[in-house]
Structure 1
Amino acid sequence: MNAMIGELMTLCMMAFALGMDAFSVGLGMGFFRLRFKQMFYIGFTIGVFHIVMPLLGMFIGRFLSQQFGGIASYIGGALLLLLGVQMIVTSFKKENDPLISPIGIGLIFFALSVSLDSFSVGLSLGIYGARTLVTIFLFGFFSMLLTWIGLLLGHRFQQWLGIYSEVLGGSILLAFGLKLLFPI
């Protein structure tokens, strides 16, 4: 029971970390004067992509885990470390303006680009053997909710909040990567 609660807490924290990336993107998008209906579709689409991408990653990760055995968890930890560092480094770059408009096919490309990191995390979790349905539900829920919050706050606040949310998300992923590489 304690192991299941521990895994659920870990997955919630990872989902939150991935959702912080979507939050910061939503925060920036909130400055575009979007209608609430557009905000709903953006958050929903990003949530769906945060379900599909880690699901693909988990299936591939489980396959790799079966093929490579014990070394696979080190690969998963290394992926999380790299992803966390990448999120932290990119949060300090000045070019935060999206290249794609979040409407129509642009929304699909936009959601895909935001959810690519969840594919890597899904790959790591597939190697680690996490529960699939719980994981993808939490990833989708947190990213959708945090995108909506970011979009709404973007209407109200300045852009400086986005940098700190990506740093927090990257730090959490970095910590979980270290936990997989160096279990206590």
Structure 2
Amino acid sequence: MPKLSVKSIAALKEPGMYSDDDTPGLYLRIGPTGAKSWILRTLVHGKRREMGLGSVNVVGLAEARDLARSHRKSARQGGDPLAERKRAKGIPTFHDAAKTVHEALLPTWRNKKHAETWLATVEAYAVPKIGSRPIDTISSGDVLEILSPIWTSKPETAKRLKQRLGTVMDWAKGKG
């Protein structure tokens, strides 16, 4: 399909995905009900991701192209446009969630050393890998990636870290 135009968008009625040859990765999606919205398909950290850019009624063609270019540029530079948008919506990063859980648990611990090592262990092993990611994007595969290198060399540390990561994830589930 050739480059999309305001006129061609208005004329399209058939459900499906229509690419905009002017902007790589930008698609017009027409749903079964006839609703039209913008979708950006791009690679983020080597994985293909789809990101909604808004309804055609709210986001015009020129704005959709600008948004698509901006998000693709961010992804090419190693960023994650979806994570950035979630951060803007108030979803905490893993590191922020871990600090919040630590602060909530502090009054329950009698041993000061335990309180210090609880967060230090999380910050030493988990934060470098997943600390800046929104908590809702972390999977069991990410936890496995963190634990695998230390599971045989430091089994007690790995066991405690697994429990601490579970506590942070349980807190996140509870918060929705």
TM-score, structure 2 length as denominator? 0.27
- Which of the two has higher C-alpha Rg? 2
TM-score, structure 1 length as denominator? 0.26
Relative to its length, the structure with more helix (as a share) is 1
Relative to its length, the structure with more strand (as a share) is 2
